[in-house]
Amino acid sequence: MDFNQKELRVIILSDGTGETAAQITKAAVVQFSDKEIFFTRYKNIRTKAQVDAIFDEAAIHHDIVIYTIVSPELREHIAKRADDKKVPAIDILGPLLNSMAVFFGLQPKSLPGLFHQVNDKYFRRIAAMEYTIAHDDGKDLTGLEFADIIILGISRSSKTPISMYLSQMGWKVVNIPIIKDFQIPEEVKNADQRKIVGLTISADKLSQIRRARLERLGQADGGDYASMDQILEEIDYADQIFRKNKRWPVFNVTGKALEETASEIVKVMLSRRKQAGLPSPMDES
């Protein structure tokens, strides 16, 4: 066979997306940049019948097969078919899995697509965190239809830390301050009311938090911000809003770790999503 005349073709075969094999192969073929090399990628290969069909075609065109397969049984079948059909085949993942199994004294799970699933979850968390930061403290009220949770509460009721904690779990969160004598934004009224929750806190605890914040800022004389009268009025105003919107569950954060309140919110949201036939943002594929 004259390889200077023939079309050079590489078949990528994978039980997942094939991205790992493709990237490794492309890193190698740049060393042969004087030749045009054509790639064909076969994804989600799970059966011997699929393998047989691919090798029948590869034998006709004298292709080379590069594969990443986690199933030992399917890897063995590929090796046998490659030998039977006289098709060159390179197993990228198998030798690495075998060597690591020996070193760790453990057996691999041999579940296809795990790397892709892990990456998807990671990028979903990053997207949730970016969304939550952009929608912190009511600074952006666009795109509320993409939110998983909308949190309302008065200043210093732990809206931001709870939102950030939830976002690290994969939830896209908007938090919006309730300000005395100001109406709730229309965007909130038009949003899916099942996504909205309220936060409340005791007056004593809120006063303590606000005074501590003022001291950190060097503003011990903070006017009405930390005064008990002002705080009582703000809490009462928020309570009035919550009573008018009975579909909004309200969580009291007094004396609770943010993880505890976040867990309570997640429990309610998961129940509502289940009723609506929606998956959890934490395990969507």
Domains and CATH numbers, the chain: 8-112 (3.40.50.2300), 115-275 (3.40.50)
What does the pLDDT profile of the chain (285 residues) look like in tens digits? 545 546 788 999 998 888 888 888 888 888 776 678 889 999 889 899 999 999 999 999 899 999 988 888 898 999 999 999 999 999 988 888 778 777 778 777 666 655 555 556 767 888 899 999 999 999 999 999 999 999 999 999 999 999 999 998 999 999 999 999 999 999 999 999 999 999 999 999 999 999 888 888 877 666 688 889 999 999 999 999 999 999 999 999 999 999 999 999 999 999 999 998 888 887 653
Q: Give the whole-angstrom CA distance, residue 87 versus residue 157.
A: 66
The dihedral over CA atoms of 91, 96, 98, 103, expressed in degrees to the nearest 10, equals 170
Q: Give the whole-angstrom CA distance, residue 3 versus residue 70.
A: 31
Q: Give the whole-angstrom CA distance, residue 104 versus residue 102.
A: 6
Q: pTM here?
A: 0.61
Q: Give the whole-angstrom CA distance, residue 283 versus residue 16.
A: 18
Q: Give the whole-angstrom CA distance, residue 271 versus residue 247.
A: 14
| Cα dihedral 97, 100, 105, 109 sign | negative
Q: Give the whole-angstrom CA distance, residue 77 versus residue 40.
A: 20
| pLDDT at res. 52 | 95
Strands in 250-252's sheet, in edge-to-edge order, are: 173-177, 149-153, 196-200, 250-252
For the chain, counts of helices (H) and of strands (E) = 10, 8
